[in-house]
Amino acid sequence: MRVKINFLIEKGGRISINYNIFLCAIIYKFLNSANKQFAEFLHNHGFSFNDSRYFKLFVFSDLICKDITIENNKLIFNDEKVIWYISSPIDDFIRYLVEGLFIENSEMLIDMQYFRIDKVEVLAEKQFSKREKFKMLSPMVLSTKKEINGKLRQYYFRYYDDFSQQLLQNLKRKYFLIHKQELKCDYIKFEFDKNYIIRQLKKKKEISRLRHIYHWNNKTNSYEDVMVKGILCPFMIETAEELIKIGYDCGFGEKNSIGFGMVESVNEKNY
């Protein structure tokens, strides 16, 4: 289930291009206002897979505005209307989020810029088939350990890499956490929109997006500034419809809870 929040902002308002951390903090603030215990559980722990990997099982989009420009690492909003989507398959998350939205003030402060909440909608559930096409509402991130210059480093997959099996396993782990049972599915077909890629490259525009995020390091017991590379490109996916719904509800790929991997359905005409 997903929530659509419509904001109004003064034209010319600006925030940092690395604003994910601000949006993440706002979500926990809303949850905390409605149910402090749930907010603390999700923030400090989340849902455990084999007591080793933890998932928050929610995702949110970039801030969407018809007219945005970038100047000196700042997003400038040239239109007063801004949309933000938040999604999760966890009913309590959606309930507490919406309750918190109405408990808090009608304004949100993001990087010293006020956004006034104009309208909040809980959107209807969608049904999916085994083959779907999506556009990205926030970049998709998938990574692996790879030896680079003799050292084992974190490698973020590019649009030309084959990461379909990593994506499949990621979706299956999320399915297990939500439904408490394994889904037997070994088939996946995943393709980015080649025509979109060609158009972007001809315009000399990047398919990938670099973002700074703050990542908690358990060894140093502190936050670290980490650079993350995500992919912003429409794609087609074929696999079990249950897994497609998982991706739609809580994000495709990694780092969903800090705003990566949210999608929206597209039809054949717009693909």
Question: Which pLDDT belongs to residue 5?
Answer: 96
What span, in angstroms and rounded, lies between the C-alpha atoms of 256 and 258?
A: 5
* DSSP class of 9: -
What span, in angstroms and rounded, lies between the C-alpha atoms of 216 and 199?
A: 37
What span, in angstroms and rounded, lies between the C-alpha atoms of 98 and 30?
A: 8
* Residue 222, strand partner residues: 217
Token pair for 32: 């905390």
224-236 tens-digit pLDDT: 778 899 999 999 9
- Using the predicted structure, report yes or no on whether residue 211 has a pLDDT greater than 90: no
* H-only helix segments in the chain: 20-34, 36-44, 91-103, 164-179, 194-202, 241-250
> Which of residues 107 and 160 earns the better pLDDT score?
160
- Using the predicted structure, report yes or no on whether residue 59 has a pLDDT greater than 90: yes
Q: What percent of the chain has pLDDT over 90?
A: 76
Q: Looking at residues 153-157, what average pLDDT do you find?
A: 90
Residue 114, classed as helix, strand or coil, is strand
Token pair for 168: 């499949």
Token pair for 102: 């109405």
21: left (phi over 0), alpha (psi -120 to 50) or beta: alpha
Interhelix angle 20-34/36-44, rounded to 10 degrees, is: 140
- CA atoms within 13 A of residue 142's CA, in its CB half-sphere: 20
- 229, 32 contact by CB (below 8 A): no
In one-letter notation, the amino acid at residue 73 is: N
Question: Which pLDDT belongs to residue 217?
Answer: 62
Q: Looking at residues 60-76, what average pLDDT do you find?
A: 95
In one-letter notation, the amino acid at residue 178 is: I
Question: Which pLDDT belongs to residue 160?
Answer: 94
- Tell which residue, 265, 267, 264, 270, has the closest CA to residue 84: 264
Q: Looking at residues 195-200, what average pLDDT do you find?
A: 95
- 250, 58 contact by CB (below 8 A): yes
- 154, 142 contact by CB (below 8 A): no
- Using the predicted structure, report yes or no on whether residue 271 has a pLDDT greater than 60: no
Question: Which pLDDT belongs to residue 267?
Answer: 72
Contacts of 260 (CB under 8 A, 6+ apart): 20, 59, 138, 139, 140, 141, 228, 230, 251, 253, 254
Q: Looking at residues 234-252, what average pLDDT do you find?
A: 97
- 140, 51 contact by CB (below 8 A): no
